[in-house]
Amino acid sequence: MELFERNPLQNILPEDGQVSYYGVIMSPDQAAYYFDQLLHHIEWKHDEAVIYGKHYITKRKVAWYGDEPYDYSYSNTTKQALPWTSELLFLKKLVEDTSGHTFNSCLLNLYHEGSEGMAWHSDGEKMLGNQPIISSFTLGAERKFSFKHKQSKQTVNIHLENGSLLIMKGDTQRNWLHRLPPTKKVTKPRISLTFRTIIS
């Protein structure tokens, strides 16, 4: 089912998790400015994964920033957080002020066009705690974002707009998978900033 709910008090998941969609939280001009700044000044690198002993390098690029040089491990690879840039600190404060949650790190993803996406997964790393709060802030191309319940296989889809904010919390990561499905309809790039809190 397609959902375009902009009331963050209303959960877009039917059960076993909590996802709030705040819609667009900055002007198109601001979004264009910060997209350009991040595109050209973030230390982007191709993402890597080791699956069943085989090393993969993705077309998608990533970057990891935080309060401290935290190590972040997933897909059998480890990244060390870089110090915040002024642009990232501004966006972090915007997301925190809007959502009422605080974060100490951010994983950024750069999708050059619609053929680049993210497979089904959940963010269940121990360093995020039992009920992690993870934000997804979008700059650039609007993309479909999907959830799938791990048991019932029920799906929920939402379109993440330029300058929009989505928050996942509660038992979402325990009970739901999420993905960014590839599409031939999108030809422009998208940057996602997933702010999260690493537990020392």
- Which domains are present in the chain? 2-196 (2.60.120.590)
Report the distance separating Cα 26 and Cα 11, nearest Å: 22
Percent of all residues in the chain with a pLDDT value above 90, rounded to a whole number: 78
pLDDT number for residue 2: 44
| 161: CB partners within 8 A, 6+ apart | 23, 24, 138, 142
pLDDT number for residue 74: 61
pLDDT number for residue 59: 84
Map tokens 């994964």 to a residue: 49
Evaluate whether 117 touches 181 at the Cβ level (below 8 Å).
Answer: yes
Report the distance separating Cα 149 and Cα 15, nearest Å: 9
Closest C-alpha among 139, 142, 145 to residue 118? 145
Look at 65-69, 78-82, 86-90, 147-151 and tell me which has the smallest mean pLDDT.
78-82
Q: For the chain, give percent helix, strand, coil, nearest 5.
A: 20, 45, 40
41 backbone dihedrals φ, ψ, rounded to 5°: -120, -10
Report the distance separating Cα 200 and Cα 113, nearest Å: 35
Closest C-alpha among 13, 16, 165 to residue 3? 13
pLDDT number for residue 12: 96
| 95: CB partners within 8 A, 6+ apart | 25, 103, 135, 137, 165, 193, 195
pLDDT digits (tens, 9 = 90+) for 9-62: 789 999 999 999 999 999 999 999 999 999 999 999 987 666 666 767 778 999
